[in-house]
Amino acid sequence: MLQGHQTWIFKNKPAIISTGVVGGPFEAKGNIPEDFDILHEDMWLKQDSFEKAQQMLMEESCQVALKKSSIEKEQVQFFISGDLINQITPTSFTAKTIGIPYLGIFSACATSAESLALSAYLINSGGAEYILSGTSSHNATAEKQFRYPTEYGGQKPPTSQWTVTGAGCALLAKEGPGPVVTSATIGKIVDMGITDPFNMGGAMAAAAVNTIETHFKERNIDPSYYDLIVTGDLGHIGREVSLDLLKQRGLSIRDDQYVDCGLTIYREGQPVMAGASGPACSAVVTYGHFLNKLKRGEIKRMLLVATGSLHSPLSIQQKDPIPCIAHAVSIESGSDAT
């Protein structure tokens, strides 16, 4: 059901019946290694390119999600996913391997929430019974495409962020055990005129605020409804900017209630500058760490607000400003969903 202009309410409450969360060696040394299903010791994953390694991450996360459920691959109607790399090839090649009807999407680091929202919408409306929803990223593939290959040893400013090597996948079902998806707010493009590709948090902050404000307005609720409001990868800078903007708009959110995946995944002291980023950032932290909190009863309701900067190497070279997006998805414990 559409509520307002941008928000879907899922009356049938599609369930997240299983997840698969995979990471690399840097993530294994991070803050939440116990929330991963698989952690690799080598960024190459025994492949001959980093792009193929990223494909392996996505394949593994899908396989783990299926294995943890009682569902066979043949029962899944759709695989909805995307990534950062040109023509989303790691995801498309994964779709070839797993052999599930495929909808490829691109929303940069907001892909996790976009794929989850679309999956919930299809299931809620009767368009499917089971959907695999997820995304991936790899530090070396993102550096090669958007900045410089890591072998160059290029220096980065303090505003830059570290792309997560990992993949997160959720298996959604019409019904079943697990947390449920209750609503989604689809964001609008917000362009603050920022042209610096090393300041993604600052560029994306306003998009996050716009979607959060719209979500509360259209659902007619206030921030106290959620135990946690979880942004994707704003990092230190974007989080502080967005908190200031939220206060300016009259939204009172507690500091401990407003958390960021990019500040959750790594330990203090890891050289990640302003925090983590990449499509896998929000996917692995949400489908691993925060869903585990929901399952343990530590929280009952969370709002995932994944953020993405929709630039390309070419648009940056042409000095275009960076358009940004944020999509929000409500995830609640099955017993507490309204």
Read off the pLDDT of residues 126-173 as tens digits, 9 standing for 90 and up: 999 999 999 999 999 998 888 766 766 777 888 999 999 999 999 999
* 1-23 pLDDT, tens digit each: 899 999 999 999 999 999 999 99
3-state SS assignment for residue 257: coil
Predicted pLDDT of residue 144:
86
Going from the C-alpha of 28 to that of each of 39, 59, 227, the distances in angstroms are: 6, 19, 27
Pair (194, 163) in one structural domain: no
21/165 same-domain check: yes
Position 86 scores a pLDDT of 93
**Could you tell me which of 165, 129, 168, 170 has the C-alpha nearest to residue 150?**
165
Q: Does any domain span residue 189?
A: yes
- Domain boundary (173, 199, 221) is at 173
Residue 221 located in a structural domain: yes
204 and 162, same structural domain?
Answer: no
Residue with the two structure tokens 């999956």:
119
Asked if the structure places residue 114 within a domain, the reply is yes
Same domain, 160 and 217: no
The pLDDT mean for the chain works out to: 95
For 113, half-sphere exposure in the C-beta direction (CA atoms, 13 angstrom radius) is: 34
Whether residues 93 and 201 fall in one domain: no
In a domain? residue 322: yes
User: What residues form DSSP beta bridges with 132?
Assistant: 79, 171
Where is the domain boundary, 119, 150, 173?
173
Q: Single out the residue in 125, 141, 173 at which a domain terminates.
A: 173
The answer on 163 and 224 residing in a single domain is no
Residues 168 and 186 in one domain: no
User: Given this model, what pLDDT does residue 336 score?
Assistant: 55
- The pLDDT tens digits for 298-316 are 999 999 999 999 999 999 9
Rounded to whole angstroms, the Cα distance separating 206 from 81 reads: 25
Contact 78, 119 (CB under 8 A): yes
What's this model's pTM, rounded to 2 decimal places?
0.96
- Is 272 domain-assigned? yes
Look up the CATH number of the domain holding residue 275.
3.40.47.40
Q: How many domains does the chain have?
A: 2
Asked if residue 338 has pLDDT above 60, the reply is: no
CB atoms within 10 A of CB 44: 14
In a domain, 337, yes or no: no
Q: What is the mean pLDDT of residues 94-108?
A: 98
**Same domain? 8 vs 128:** yes
Please say whether the beta carbons of 290 and 302 come within 8 A: yes
Residue 161 lies in a domain: yes
User: Tens digits of per-residue pLDDT, 76-97?
Assistant: 999 999 999 999 999 999 999 9
Domain range enclosing 29: 2-173
